Amino acid sequence: MLKFDIFLSALANGLLTGAVYALIALGLTLIYGVLHIINFAHGATLTLAMFAVFVAHQAFGLDPYIAVFILTPLFFVLGYALQRFVITPASHGDDGNILLVTLGISIIIENALLAVFRSDTRSIDVPYGFSVMEIGPLFLSTPKVIAFVATLGVAGLLWLLLARSDTGKAIRAVAKEKTGASLCGIDVAHVYAVTFGIGTACLAIAACLLMPTFLVNPRVGNAFVLVAFTIVVLGGMGSIGGALAGGLIIGVVESLSGLYFGESLGQIGIFLIFLVVLLFRPTGLFGAKA
Amino acid sequence: MLEVQDLVAGYGAMPVLRGVSLNVGAGEVVAVLGANGVGKTTLNRALSGLIRAERGSIRFEGEAIERLDPAGIVARGLIHVPEGRKIFPNMTVRENLELGAYRRARANRSRNLEQAFTTFPRLREREAQLAGTLSGGEQQMLAIGRGLMAEPKLLILDEPSLGLSPLLVEELFALIANIAAQGLAVMLVEQNVVQSLELAARAYVLANGEVALSGEANVLARDPELEKTYLGM
Ligand SMILES: Nc1ncnc2c1ncn2[C@@H]1O[C@H](COP(=O)(O)OP(=O)(O)OP(=O)(O)O)[C@@H](O)[C@H]1O
Ligand SMILES: [Mg+2]
C-alpha cells in the first residue's frame, strides 16, 4: 500500500512538472508550426522572463501571480517586436539566417543577464512557496497544482483562439498556405509576429508559474528548453495537443524513472521514450503523417 | 477598370515580363493566353502584389496600386484565384470560404457564404470536410468560392481548368460565364484556348515577355497567327 502511494505521488508530481514543460513546449511548437523555424532564443527568453518575475518581486513587491498579468502582455509585445523588427529584417528571408539570428539573440540575452545578475542562483520568497494541498492520499505542492491548472487553462484558451477567432484562423491559414493567405488579404508578416508574440507570452506565463518553487540563474532556461525540444518532436512538430500530451508524458516519465532508477537517471527515461516513439512514429505522437 | 502600362516584373536579374500593357474594362471578360513559362502567373502575381513591379504602372479603378501590398490590393476588390488553388488544406471548407472575407466584405460574410453554397452545392455537402481531402475539382470550386467571398470587382482566375476532366472543364466554364453575366470583370488565364476564346470578349497572347497579339476573341480564334505565336515557343 505504501509502495502504491509513493508511485501515485511520483505520478502526480510528474504530471505537475510536465504541465510547465508543456507550456514552454507550446510556445516553441506554435512558432515552429506557423513560421517553420526553430526559435533558438526560446530558452534565453524563458530565463529573461524568470528574471523579470524576480525583479518584479524584489524591486516592486509584486507577487508572481499578479505579475503574470503585466508580464504576459509585455512579453507578447517583446516577441512581436523581436520577430517583426529584428528577426525578419536581419534574416533577409533565409531560413538558415533565422536560426543564426535567434541563436544570436539568445547569446545577447544570456550575456546581458550574466552582466547584470552575475552567475548566482536566485529565488524569491513567497508565503505559499512550501504550502501543500491534500488531495486524496496525496500531498501536492500548492504552487505546482496552480501551475498545472493554469497550464491547462492557457492551452485551452490557445486552442479556442486558434479554432474560433478570426486571428486564429488567419494563423492556421498562414501556417499551411502563405500565398493563399496573402491573396485573402491576410497580412502574413503581422501574423508571423503575432504568433511569435504568443509563443513568447507563453514563456512569461511559464516563468510566473515556475518562480514560486524554482530558482533562476542566467542559464536556467536552457535545461527547460532542451526538454521542451524533446516534447515538441515527441508530440509532433507544430501540434498544440501534441505539446500538451508530450509535456505531461515527459513529466511522468521523468518522475517515475527518477523513482525507480534514482534521481540522476530521471532524464534517461525521457530519451528512451523519445527514441522508442520516434522508432515507431517518426512524425511524433500527434504529428501529421509525412 | 484595370490598366497595365509597360509592366516589367520577374524574379531577379532577368525580368520575365518586359513591358506588358493591357487593360480590362468593367464587366468585361478578358482572356490571357500564352505558352508554358511565358509569364502569365508572374503577371498575376505582380497584379496582386505578391511580387513587386520593377517598372511600369498598374492602375485599378484609376488608382495606382503597384506599390500596395497584397492586403491593400484585396481590400480594393482585385481578387486573384491563384494557379494551384492555394486553399488551406488543414481547414474546413467553411473556414476556407470565411477566410475569403477576411479583408473585404466581412460584414456580408454570412450572406455571401450562403450565396457560395448556392453556387457550389457540392461545397455545402462538404462544409465540415477538411479542404485538403477534397477532389481536385472540388478544390478548384473552393478556390473560386473563396475568391467570390471578397465581393471582387475584378476576378483573376489563373488556369482554373488545370487538371480537371473535360466534363468538369465544361461545367467550370459555364460557371465562369455565369459569374461574368452578373457584371463581374474577369481576367481568365488559360491553356484551354478554344473554350477561353469562346467565353472572353477580348484576349491577349503573351510571348517573349510582351503582348504578342491582342484583339477581339472571335477574331483571334480564327487567326492562323495565334497557333503560330501561341505554340511557337
Ligand atoms: N519564384 C520564381 N523564381 C524564379 N523564377 C521563377 C519563379 N516563378 C516562376 N519563375 C520563372 O518565370 C518564368 C515564368 O513563369 P510563370 O509561372 O509566370 O509562367 P506561366 O506563363 O504561368 O506558365 P504556366 O502556363 O506553365 O503556368 C518561368 O521561366 C519560370 O521558370
Ligand atoms: Mg502559370
Is there a single domain that holds both residue B69 and residue B13?
yes
Q: Rounded mean pLDDT of chain A?
A: 90
Is there a single domain that holds both residue B158 and residue B139?
no
Residue B159 has φ and ψ, to the nearest 5°, of 45, 60
pLDDT of residue A96: 82
pLDDT of residue B189: 95
Is there a single domain that holds both residue B115 and residue B170?
no
The residue among A48, A65, A82 whose CA lies nearest residue A195 is A82
**Cell numbers placing A206:** 511559464
Contacts of B150 in chain A (CB under 8 A): 184-185
Is there a single domain that holds both residue B129 and residue B157?
no
What gap in Å lies between CA A209 and CA A213, rounded to an integer?
8
Is there a single domain that holds both residue B160 and residue B226?
yes
Contact partners, residue B141, CB within 8 Å, separation at least 6: B120, B122, B123
Q: Are residues A21 and A255 in contact, defined by beta-carbon separation less than 8 angstroms?
A: no
User: With 60 as the cut, is the pLDDT of residue B233 above it?
Assistant: no
How many other C-beta atoms can be found within 10 angstroms of the C-beta atom of residue B208?
14
Q: Are residues B136 and B107 in contact, defined by beta-carbon separation less than 8 angstroms?
A: no
- ipTM confidence: 0.93
Q: What is the mean pLDDT of residues B7-35?
A: 92
Q: What is the CATH number of the domain that holds B169?
A: 3.40.50.300
* DSSP H or E stretch at residue B21: strand B15-24
Q: Would you put residue B49 in left (φ > 0), alpha (ψ -120 to 50) or beta?
A: left
pLDDT by residue (tens digit) across A87-140?
999 888 787 888 899 999 999 999 999 999 988 899 999 898 889 998 888 889
Q: What is the mean pLDDT of residues B15-34?
A: 94
Is there a single domain that holds both residue B26 and residue B140?
no
- The domain boundary, picked from B145, B179, B195, lies at B145
Is there a single domain that holds both residue B68 and residue B158?
yes
What gap in Å lies between CA A232 and CA A240, rounded to an integer?
9
Name the E strands within chain A.
132-135, 138-141
At B232, the pLDDT band (50, 70, 90 cuts) reads low
**Cell numbers placing A215:** 530558482
- Angle (deg, nearest 10), helices B136-148 and B93-100: 30
User: With 60 as the cut, is the pLDDT of residue A1 above it?
Assistant: no
At A274, the pLDDT band (50, 70, 90 cuts) reads confident
Is there a single domain that holds both residue B89 and residue B140?
yes
Q: What is the mean pLDDT of residues B162-191?
A: 91
At B106, the pLDDT band (50, 70, 90 cuts) reads very high
Q: How far is A158 from chain B (nearest CA, A)?
A: 17
Share of chain B above pLDDT 70, in %: 98
* DSSP H or E stretch at residue A274: helix A266-280
Share of chain A above pLDDT 90, in %: 62
Choose the mutation target among A164, A166, A183, A239 for the interface with B, i.e. most B CBs under 10 Å: A183
Query: Higher-confidence residue: A232 or A94?
Result: A232
* Interface residue A177 vs chain B (CB under 8 A): yes
Is there a single domain that holds both residue B114 and residue B20?
no
pLDDT of residue B59: 96
Is there a single domain that holds both residue B158 and residue B68?
yes
Task: Specify the 3-state DSSP secondary structure of B204.
Answer: strand
Q: Say if the Cβ atoms of B48 and A176 lie within 8 Å.
A: no
**Cell numbers placing A278:** 520516434
pLDDT of residue A271: 79
Share of chain B above pLDDT 90, in %: 79
Is there a single domain that holds both residue B157 and residue B219?
yes
| Residue B36 Cβ < 6 Å to ligand 1 | yes
Nearest CA in chain A to B145: A184
What gap in Å lies between CA A222 and CA A216, rounded to an integer?
11
pLDDT by residue (tens digit) across A48-59?
999 999 999 999
pLDDT by residue (tens digit) across B182-192?
999 999 999 88
pLDDT by residue (tens digit) across B53-100?
999 999 999 999 999 999 999 999 999 999 999 999 999 999 999 999
Q: What is the pTM of this model?
A: 0.92
Half-sphere exposure for A213 (CA within 13 Å, toward CB): 18
- The domain boundary, picked from B97, B112, B145, lies at B145
The tally of domains found in chain B comes to: 2
Q: Say if the Cβ atoms of A181 and B150 lie within 8 Å.
A: no
- The domain boundary, picked from B103, B127, B145, lies at B145
Q: How far is B104 from chain A (nearest CA, A)?
A: 8
At A290, the pLDDT band (50, 70, 90 cuts) reads very low
Q: Are residues A234 and A284 in contact, defined by beta-carbon separation less than 8 angstroms?
A: yes
pLDDT of residue B229: 67
Is there a single domain that holds both residue B123 and residue B187?
no
- DSSP letter string over A120-173? --B----TTTT-EEEETTEEEEHHHHHHHHHHHHHHHHHHHHHHHSHHHHHHHH
What gap in Å lies between CA B176 and CA B196, rounded to an integer?
10
| Residue B34 Cβ < 6 Å to ligand 1 | yes
Domain membership of residue B130 as a residue range: 83-145
Set out the domains of chain A in order of their start, with CATH numbers: 9-121+133-280 (1.10.3470)
Task: Specify the 3-state DSSP secondary structure of B37.
Answer: coil
Q: Are residues B137 and B164 in contact, defined by beta-carbon separation less than 8 angstroms?
A: yes
| Residue B163 Cβ < 6 Å to ligand 1 | no
| Helix locations, chain B, DSSP H | 40-47, 70-75, 93-100, 109-119, 121-125, 136-148, 166-181, 193-199, 217-221, 224-231
Q: Say if the Cβ atoms of A176 and B90 lie within 8 Å.
A: yes
Give the burial class of B171: count Cβ atoms within 10 A of its Cβ; 0-12 exposed, 13-18 middle, 19 or more buried. Answer: middle
Q: Rounded mean pLDDT of chain B?
A: 92
CA distances from B70 to A184, A187, B52 (A): 8, 8, 10
Q: Are residues B151 and B103 in contact, defined by beta-carbon separation less than 8 angstroms?
A: no
Q: Would you put residue B160 in left (φ > 0), alpha (ψ -120 to 50) or beta?
A: alpha
